[in-house]
C-alpha cells in the first residue's frame, strides 16, 4: 500500500481548511448581502406606504417627511380656534373671514369626517405637519370642531396661538338640543339629524331619553383637555384639572359667549395683524349674531333641576366658572368700559429704558 508522506498530508489538510474557511466567508457575505437587500426593500415599501398615507391625510401636494418637520422654522404666526359647538363660533369666525383679505392672511376650516371631535394619532400628526409646514398659507387662522392638540408633543417647531370660547353649560346644551331638531336661521333649508323629532327637552328629560342624558353635556371640558382617553370620560375630575391647566398654560385667550364683545376687543388690541377692525365690524351687528337656533323653548324648572343633579353638569359648570373668572380678570386689566357701555382698550403701560451699550457711531 502506497504511503502519503506526512509533509504532503499536512499540505493537503492546510489547503482543505483554507478552502473551507473561504467557503464560510463567502456564505456569510452572501447572507449579509441578501439581508441588506431585504432591508432596503422593506425601507422602500415603508416609505411608499407612508407617502401614500400622507397624501391621503394632507390632501395637499408633496407630502412632508418627519425630518422636514423638525428642521423648518416658522415664518408667520398661526392661530388655531378649536371651536366648541354652539358657543357663538359661527358669528366669531365670520370676523377673520371678513378681515383676512385686507390684513393679508389665510383662513382655513379643518373639516373632520362625520363631525369627529376626537382624532386618531395619525390624523393629529397629519394636522400638525400640515399647519407647521404649509408656508403658502401662512400667516393662517385655522378653525374647526376638534379637541386641543399639543403641537410640541408631536415634535413640531411651531407652537400655535390657541384661542377659544365657552358658554354656560346649560345654555349651550339647550341650544344644541333644539339645533339638532330645528336647525338655525343661518342655513334654514338644511335638514338636521333629528329633524323628524318634535320632542321638547322637557319631554326628553321626563322619559330619560338619550339626547338629554347627562353624558351629552360633556363637551367643553374635553375640548380643552385634549385627546387623552381620560379627557372624554364624563365627569372626570382629572379631565377638569387638565382642561384648567391648558386654559392657563396653552391658550392665549379664552373668551365667554355672553361677553363676546369684550373678547373681540381684547383680540383686536393684542393681535391686530389678525383682528384690526374686528370690534367695529362686530358692533355694527352684521356679524355679531349670524346663527340663532330656531324653536328653542325655555325648559321647566323640573327639567333644569334634573339636568343639574349629576356629576357631569357639576364639573362642566366648575370649568365654565373658572374660565369666566379668568376672562373677567383679564378683561378688567385690558379694557375700560365707559358709562355709555362703549369699550376702549387700556393704553400701553410699559417702556424700555436704561439700554446699554448705546449704538456706536461709524467713527467709533
Residue 47 belongs to a domain: no
Our answer to whether residue 143 is catalytic in this structure is yes
Confidence of residue 57 (pLDDT cuts 50, 70, 90): very low
- Rounded CA gap, 313 and 173, in Å? 10
Residue 29 belongs to a domain: no
Number of domains present in the structure of the chain? 1
- Residue 204 makes CB contacts below 8 A (sequence gap 6+) with 177, 211, 212
**Which member of 53, 109, 145, 280 is catalytic?**
145
Residue 12 belongs to a domain: no
Q: Which residue has the higher pLDDT, 9 or 14?
A: 14
User: Can you give the pTM of this predicted structure?
Assistant: 0.76
Residue 229 belongs to a domain: yes
The pLDDT assigned to 292 comes to: 60
Look over the chain and give the mean of its residue pLDDT values, rounded to a whole number: 83
* Residue 248 in this model has a pLDDT that exceeds 70: yes
**Which member of 143, 157, 259, 289 is catalytic?**
143
- Rounded CA gap, 311 and 10, in Å? 91
Residue 30 belongs to a domain: no
Lowest mean pLDDT among 62-76, 112-126, 149-163, 278-292: 62-76
Instruction: List the one residue out of 320, 305, 164 whose CA is nearest residue 240.
Output: 320
The CATH number covering residue 77 comes to 3.40.50.300
- Segments forming the whole domain that contains residue 147: 66-345
Q: 269: which 3 cell numbers?
A: 388690541
* Residue 177 in this model has a pLDDT that exceeds 50: yes
Q: Which residue has the higher pLDDT, 219 or 296?
A: 219
* Residue 88 in this model has a pLDDT that exceeds 50: yes
* Residue 164 in this model has a pLDDT that exceeds 70: yes
Our answer to whether residue 145 is catalytic in this structure is yes
Amino acid at each position: 500500500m502506497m504511503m502519503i508522506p506526512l509533509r504532503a498530508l499536512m499540505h493537503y489538510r492546510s489547503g482543505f481548511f483554507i478552502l473551507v474557511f473561504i467557503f464560510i466567508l463567502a456564505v456569510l457575505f452572501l447572507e449579509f448581502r441578501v439581508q441588506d437587500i431585504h432591508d432596503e426593500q422593506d425601507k422602500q415599501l415603508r416609505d411608499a406606504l407612508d407617502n401614500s398615507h400622507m397624501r391621503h391625510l394632507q390632501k395637499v401636494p408633496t407630502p412632508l417627511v418627519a425630518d422636514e418637520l423638525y428642521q423648518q422654522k416658522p415664518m408667520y404666526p398661526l392661530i388655531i380656534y378649536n371651536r366648541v359647538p354652539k358657543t357663538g363660533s359661527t358669528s366669531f369666525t365670520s370676523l377673520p373671514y371678513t378681515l383676512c383679505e385686507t390684513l393679508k392672511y389665510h383662513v382655513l376650516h379643518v373639516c373632520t369626517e362625520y363631525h369627529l371631535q376626537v382624532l386618531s394619532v395619525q390624523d393629529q400628526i397629519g394636522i400638525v405637519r400640515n399647519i407647521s409646514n404649509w408656508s403658502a398659507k401662512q400667516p393662517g387662522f385655522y378653525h374647526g370642531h376638534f379637541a386641543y392638540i399639543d403641537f410640541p408633543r408631536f415634535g413640531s417647531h411651531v407652537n400655535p396661538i390657541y384661542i377659544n370660547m365657552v358658554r354656560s353649560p346649560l345654555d349651550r346644551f339647550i341650544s344644541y338640543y333644539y339645533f339638532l331638531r330645528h336647525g338655525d336661521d343661518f342655513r334654514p333649508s338644511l335638514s338636521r339629524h333629528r329633524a323628524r323629532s318634535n320632542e321638547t327637552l322637557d319631554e326628553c328629560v321626563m322619559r330619560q331619553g338619550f339626547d338629554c342624558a347627562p353624558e351629552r353635556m360633556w363637551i367643553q371640558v374635553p375640548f380643552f383637555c385634549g385627546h387623552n382617553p381620560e379627557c372624554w370620560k364624563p365627569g372626570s375630575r382629572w379631565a377638569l384639572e387638565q382642561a384648567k391647566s391648558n386654559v392657563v398654560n396653552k391658550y392665549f385667550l379664552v373668551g365667554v359667549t355672553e361677553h363676546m364683545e369684550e373678547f373681540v376687543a381684547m383680540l383686536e388690541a393684542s393681535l391686530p395683524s389678525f383682528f384690526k377692525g374686528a370690534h367695529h365690524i362686530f358692533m355694527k351687528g352684521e356679524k355679531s349674531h349670524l346663527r340663532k337656533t330656531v324653536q328653542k323653548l325655555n325648559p321647566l324648572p323640573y327639567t333644569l333641576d334634573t339636568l343639574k343633579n349629576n356629576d357631569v353638569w357639576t364639573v362642566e359648570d366648575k370649568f365654565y366658572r373658572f374660565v369666566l373668572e379668568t376672562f373677567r380678570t383679564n378683561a378688567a386689566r385690558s379694557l375700560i368700559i365707559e358709562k355709555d357701555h362703549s369699550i376702549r382698550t387700556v393704553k400701553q403701560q410699559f417702556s424700555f429704558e436704561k439700554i446699554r451699550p448705546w449704538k456706536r457711531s461709524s467713527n467709533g
